[in-house]
Amino acid sequence: MKVCIMGQGYIGLPTAALFTRSGCEVVGVDISEEIVKNLNKGIIHIEEPGISEIIKKAVENKIYTASLTPQKADAFIITVPTPYIAENYSCDLSYVITACETILPYLEKGNTVIIESTIAPMSTDETIKPIFEKAGFTIGEDLYLAHCPERVLPGKIIEELIHNDRIIGGITPECSKKASEVYGQFVKGDLMLTEAKTAELSKCMENTFRDVNIALANELVKICAEIGVNALDVIEMANKHPRVNLHSPGPGVGGHCLAIDPYFIYAKAPETAKIIKLARDTNKSMPDFVCEYVKKIIKKGKIAILGVSYKGNTGDDRESPSYEIIGKLSSDYEIAIHDPHIDKPNFVSFDDAIKDSNLILVLCDHDEFKNLDYDLIKKSMESPIIFDTKNIIKEVPKEIKLFNYGNLYELS
């Protein structure tokens, strides 16, 4: 089987890697000339365990090729971004539409087209299907169209692509069957065949569930800071109940899924999806909450920012609330940013970040931040203070003041 994958990012590239490992020939299409050039040398641009070795081997064996343009194939998979439109929170399908139109000259009867990009309910039926019908194809007879959303955890993408159950949402039952044959090349989890619209809403609800529950934890933090209760103790003790699992609070919600997908549902039914929108508003408010308490801790000086990735132990900073926090603080404070998983020109080493700083602000739960060099911190800071918004630092020397979501009420 030959597979053409549109988009070689956090989902497209790992998917390409696994198809090659199953013996399929893969063409990975991306709009970036630099990414294409490096991939054809076996050099990957994302931090994800296991992928680099697979791609290098596939390039050497000539079963993986990166390209700026598609090629004819048996199956085409679309893995391009789907941001939301700020004016009405609806799903921006422009990248998906462009990708679909781009593959039209390469399609042949009997091909399978799969949309992996997360999209709003009814998008495949109402927007994507007509593109191929207008080109003369009959969906379910000579072209098989399905929405098969990814559901993976950064840092474990290879493992989860293989072992997680997969939703296969076809426009017709035959479309579902054909798409399942494509994923059957490497997926060991259950292949759950359904309709495209059900698959679309299922994916959005998976991330909405998590967003709503994080919002509940974040709202609890605000309540506890206001009334003088340790929120972290409340969460720990409540979770001892056999049917309770309060999520972890934080500085906000990032990533291309949780921070965006709930809006796709809300935009479809804004008068009904009130809990979904309120949860989004709550999580969107957390950068302001963090900044409010930073200003209560120190009035001026230098802040050492530890971590901008939206998820620990990855270099993925898409939709990260850290950048909003940095932007809000930069007008009143000197900012030094350190993230061991991201290399940017304005980022500095840990030593340089904390040198002469007045506050260490932890915004990401990288393992490197769980056991900091406290001796160096005491030498580098005149009055060492840490504000840990990810609640990962459990104990510090008595010379260091630690604030987290358990004791913010001390600042009120």
Mean pLDDT by 10 residues, the chain (412 residues): 97 97 97 97 92 96 98 98 94 98 98 97 98 98 96 89 97 98 97 98 97 98 98 98 97 93 96 98 98 97 97 93 98 98 95 98 97 96 97 96 97 86
**26 & 170 share domain:** yes
How many separate domains does the chain show? 3
End-to-end CA distance of the chain: 63
Q: Which of the listed residues 166, 195, 224 is the one where a domain comes to its end? A: 195
**267 & 327 share domain:** no
**183 & 220 share domain:** no
**317 & 236 share domain:** no
Q: Which residues contact 409 (CB under 8 A, 6 or more apart)?
A: 224, 225, 226, 227, 228, 229, 230
Q: Which of the listed residues 177, 195, 213 is the one where a domain comes to its end? A: 195
pLDDT at 412: 79
**297 & 164 share domain:** no
pLDDT at 225: 97
Q: Which are the catalytic amino acids?
A: 203, 257
Q: Which two tokens stand for residue 271?
A: 């008068």
pLDDT at 256: 85
**216 & 255 share domain:** yes
CATH code at position 232:
1.10.1040.10
pLDDT at 27: 98
**230 & 349 share domain:** no
pLDDT at 285: 98
Q: Using one digit for the tens of pLDDT, what is the confidence trace for 241-250?
A: 999 999 999 9
- In which region does residue 364 sit, left (phi positive, over 0), alpha (psi from -120 to 50) or beta (all else)? beta
pLDDT at 154: 82
Enclosing domain of residue 145: 2-195
pLDDT at 47: 85
In this structure, are residues 299 and 310 in contact, taking their beta carbons and an 8 Å threshold?
A: no
**66 & 177 share domain:** yes
CATH code at position 109:
3.40.50.720
**342 & 276 share domain:** no
**305 & 371 share domain:** yes
Q: Which of the listed residues 195, 228, 258 is the one where a domain comes to its end? A: 195
pLDDT at 387: 98
**299 & 278 share domain:** no
**273 & 293 share domain:** no
pTM here? 0.92
Cα separation, 278 vs 184, whole angstroms: 39
